[in-house]
Amino acid sequence: MRANADAAQATVAADTATLDLARLQLGYTTLRAPFAGLVGAKLVFPGAAVKINETALAVVNRVRPLYVSFAVPERYLPRIRAAMSKGAVKASVSLPEDRGQVFQGFIRFIDNAVDPATGTIRMKAELDNSAEKLAPGQYLNLSLLLDVLRDSVAVPKEAVQQGPEGAFVYVLKADAGTEVRKVEIHKVEIRKVEIRKVELALIHNNLAAIAKGLSAGETVVTDGHLRLTPGGTVKVKSLVRERP
């Protein structure tokens, strides 16, 4: 009787192992991603040959949060590291066709080496993307806020010229003997110009921030630089209300 009981217990253990194996095999028929995301179109169809760990059945992309990959020139690397040492660096992302809608995020990754082929370094920004308005693979415009310049002198970027000794601008001299004429509804001033070496802080959109070499209130030339020489004269036109 004891032998029969032991045999029955062994049979139960074998059947339990068979059941566990069947459950395990059944679990292989359900694929679960280790993260929440969106699954794409299926890549295999009934009758297709598949191989374990080689054949991709579908692609799952995580969209919340969303990581935006981009590259920046290596000359900006010192400024980026300096900004990251002070805290999280903010990134603003917008669509090429809709710049009015801006998505905010932060830099989460900077590569450990510069690509020698392109001279750029790879970075990633993390966006919340809670509304899922952005999709993986989408082209985006991205800008980084590295620093805030306060009380800076800014001029149109067309005014900044490059010479053998660096950047410079043509500045109008404040001569006491400036000749003033009125032509139709314009007031024309004849002024002399001088070359002023400047140090650029940055150029953004159509403005150039001047770090050194220019004071607030000075007037610079924005057109006709090829015809100018130090000490030359220019015409400054401005609208007036009365006619001559």
- What would the two tokens of residue 74 be? 């290596």
What's the whole-model pTM score?
0.60
The CATH classification number of 153-239 equals: 2.40.420.20
Residues of the chain with CATH 2.40.420.20: 153-239
**3-state SS of 143-189?**
EEECCCCCCCEEEEHHHCEEECCEEEEEEECCCCCCEEEEECCEEEE
Dihedral sign, Cα of residue 76, residue 81, residue 86, residue 89: positive
- Cα–Cα distance for residue pair 94/210, rounded to 1 Å: 28
pLDDT per position in the chain (244 positions), as tens?
999 999 999 999 999 999 999 999 998 888 888 888 889 999 999 999 999 889 998 999 989 999 999 999 998 899 899 999 988 899 999 998 887 889 999 999 999 999 999 999 999 999 999 888 999 999 999 999 888 888 889 999 999 998 888 899 999 887 644 454 554 555 667 778 888 999 988 887 788 999 888 988 888 888 888 888 888 887 776 644 544 4
Cβ atoms within 10 Å, residue 25: 9
User: Residue 88 in 3-state DSSP?
Assistant: coil
CATH superfamily of 61-145: Efflux pump adaptor protein, beta barrel domain (2.40.30.170)
Ranges for all domains in the chain classified under CATH 2.40.30.170: 61-145
